[in-house]
Amino acid sequence: MVTTVIRDSDIAAMSDVGVPAFGVMQDGRTYFDYHHTAADTLDKIVPAELRENAAAMAVLAYALTNMKESLPR
C-alpha cells in the first residue's frame, strides 16, 4: 500500500514518524473557505461530499480488515 500525505495536512506529522496514514484526494477548491474558522459549522456540509467520504472510509475499513498482514510500522 502506498500512501501519499500532503505535507501541510493535519496528519503529516504522524505519517512522518511511521503511523499509517490515509488521505482522500478530493476537490479542495472550497475546502479552506471554512476549514478551522469560526464559520466551520455543520450547516456547511455538502451531503453528496459527506456520502463520498463515508464511502471512501468504508472501503478503507473493508480493505484493512481483509489484509493478510498488518500495516508496516
- Look at residue 1 and tell me whether its pLDDT is greater than 70: no
User: For the chain, which residues make up each domain, given as ranges?
Assistant: 12-65
pLDDT, tens digit (0-9, with 9 covering 90-100), for 24-68: 788 888 888 888 899 999 999 999 999 999 999 999 999 999 999
Q: Which residues of 21-43 are buried (b: 16+ CB within 10 A; e: fewer)?
A: beeeeeeeeeeeeeeeeeeeeee
Amino acid sitting at position 39: A
- In this structure, what C-alpha cell is assigned to residue 55? 464511502
Q: Note whether 40 and 34 are within 8 A (CB).
A: yes
Is this structure's pTM higher than 0.75? no
